[in-house]
Amino acid sequence: MTEKSSSLISFVKEKNMLWEKCKEIESDIVEMRRELHQIPELGFYLPKTRAYVIRKLEEIGVPYILSEKDSSIVATMKCARPGKTLAFRADMDALPIQEETGLSFASLHNSCMHACGHDAHTAMLLAALQILYPHKEELSGEIRFLFQTAEELAKGAAILIEEGALKGVDAIFGMHIGSILDKSIPSGTMACIPGAVMASYDRFILEVKGNGCHASTPEKGVDPINIAAHIILALQTINAREIAGTDAAVLTMGLIRGGELYNAIPSTVHIEGTTRALKEEVRQKLAKRIGEVAKCTAEAFGGSVDYTMDWGAPPLINDKEMTEFAKDAIQDIFKEEIVLYRESPSMIGEDFSLYLQKIPGAFLFLSSANPKKGTDKPHHHAKFDVDEDVLWKGSASFVAIAEKFLGR
């Protein structure tokens, strides 16, 4: 065997093992996840998280730009030759929850917790970048790594889009860890779902107005508590009688606040709720009818209502071609464990849907539900945790998609 052929065999072997390098740095991924888990932050302003990500990007040596509107970051990896542009996204924000996991690396911030896996998402994407960047000479095109804020508010993706993060991008991929689809899916399994994957999620606010008075003389006022009760019951008929049984839709009221004394009728009652839908037309109908039903009901009892719809994110619809592409790219990693999951999508929402309205892409799901490790708690639970043994698979999936998309 000549020196040249030996070198070629060595190169081919190295070339075929790039995603496997994520397994080699598994302990680094776990460490990053734990460090991020200790510093959860809410919404748009994530100073500690941003500083952490910046430090890691500078260690890798990749150039990045900072948003002027929030704490989001876009790192750019330009490859050796011209080609397509690929984007990956990780969300970084946490939730206003007091952690009850008892972990040695539990949140250091009171009433704030990574209870949705965003610490893992950020760590997995940083690790993928760490593996890919030294091999940029072997790839064509460009990769943008989007580190996003405010996913829990359904507002962060819109900021990155407005600032041009998707300009020139051909496809985008994201990932969610946990048991978001079904906790019976074994930990370490990837779910690739074409079409409708997650629901729209919006928040509505009803300020019911009456006329306060003493409880002993209700005829002298207009009772907003009574009005609110009728509105709540009436709104449930929208799903029951106005939405087709074949169209998934949810209308839930989770907050009601009114009154201060047992013997006094207040002047206002505050109601907040959420709607979910898998079709945009159903989403819009829910919003329209909430306002109409609430207004007419309030007027029937002599009151009024101020209605506000706080628009969140549209339904998340995966591009079929990109979903199949992702499945094929990560087949070598998951082998027989790969799942092309075709059951009912989740009614949970995700503002990754805003990216998919602009360009093709797919949002994937990595199960970390392991009852033996106690990592099968639902998202947004005070004891939520992830199976850290699967983190490297998330990073490896990003790397495998990049290799296939950019022609390594």
Q: Which of 313, 339, 354 delimits the end of a domain?
A: 313
Whether the predicted pLDDT of 237 surpasses 80: yes
Instruction: State whether 127 and 191 are in the same domain.
Output: yes
**What proportion of the chain, given as a percentage, has pLDDT over 90?**
85
Instruction: State whether 221 and 334 are in the same domain.
Output: no
Instruction: State whether 161 and 67 are in the same domain.
Output: yes
Whether the predicted pLDDT of 362 surpasses 80: yes
* Tokens coding 164: 């041009």
CATH number at residue 40: 3.40.630.10
DSSP letter assigned to residue 113:
B
Contact predicate 287/200, CB 8 Å: no
Q: Which of 260, 283, 313 delimits the end of a domain?
A: 313
Whether the predicted pLDDT of 182 surpasses 80: no
Instruction: State whether 237 and 209 are in the same domain.
Output: yes
Q: 155 pLDDT band (50/70/90 cuts)?
A: very high
Max Cα distance, the chain (Å) = 102
Instruction: State whether 129 and 206 are in the same domain.
Output: no
From CA 35, how far away is CA 277, in angstroms rounded? 36
From CA 400, how far away is CA 408, in angstroms rounded? 10
The amino acid at residue 259 is G
CATH number at residue 307: 3.30.70.360
Whether the predicted pLDDT of 355 surpasses 90: yes
Residue ranges at the known binding site = 116, 118, 152, 176, 380
Instruction: State whether 236 and 324 are in the same domain.
Output: no
Q: Which of 313, 337, 354 delimits the end of a domain?
A: 313
Question: What length is written for the chain?
Answer: 408
Contact predicate 364/173, CB 8 Å: yes
Instruction: State whether 109 and 22 are in the same domain.
Output: yes
Cβ neighbours of 110 (radius 10 Å)? 8
Query: How deeply is 160 buried, as exposed, middle or buried, from its count of CB atoms within 10 A (0-12, 13-18, 19+)?
Result: buried
Whether the predicted pLDDT of 4 surpasses 50: no
Number of domains in the chain: 2
| Domain containing residue 254 | 201-313
Buried/exposed code over 312-342 (b: 16+ C-beta within 10 A; e: otherwise)? bbbbbbbbeebbebbbebbeebbeeebbebe
Instruction: State whether 21 and 77 are in the same domain.
Output: yes
Residue ranges at the known binding site for Mn(2+) = 116, 118, 152, 176, 380
Report pLDDT for 9. 38
Q: 181 pLDDT band (50/70/90 cuts)?
A: confident
Instruction: State whether 279 and 385 are in the same domain.
Output: no
Angle at 401 between CA 165 and CA 116, to 5 degrees: 65
Instruction: State whether 17 and 140 are in the same domain.
Output: yes
Instruction: State whether 147 and 21 are in the same domain.
Output: yes
Question: Which pLDDT tens digit goes with each residue over 61-71?
Answer: 999 999 999 99
Mean pLDDT, to the nearest integer, of 194-219?
96
Cβ neighbours of 226 (radius 10 Å)? 17
Question: Which pLDDT tens digit goes with each residue over 68-127?
Answer: 999 999 999 999 999 999 999 999 999 999 999 999 999 999 999 999 999 999 999 999
Whether the predicted pLDDT of 59 surpasses 90: yes
Instruction: State whether 156 and 300 are in the same domain.
Output: no
* Tokens coding 383: 């004891």
Q: What is the DSSP string of 140-179?
A: EEEEEEEEE--TTTT-HHHHHHHTTTTTT--EEEEEEEES
Q: 337 pLDDT band (50/70/90 cuts)?
A: low
Question: Which pLDDT tens digit goes with each residue over 34-51?
Answer: 999 999 999 999 999 999
Mean pLDDT, to the nearest integer, of 50-60?
98
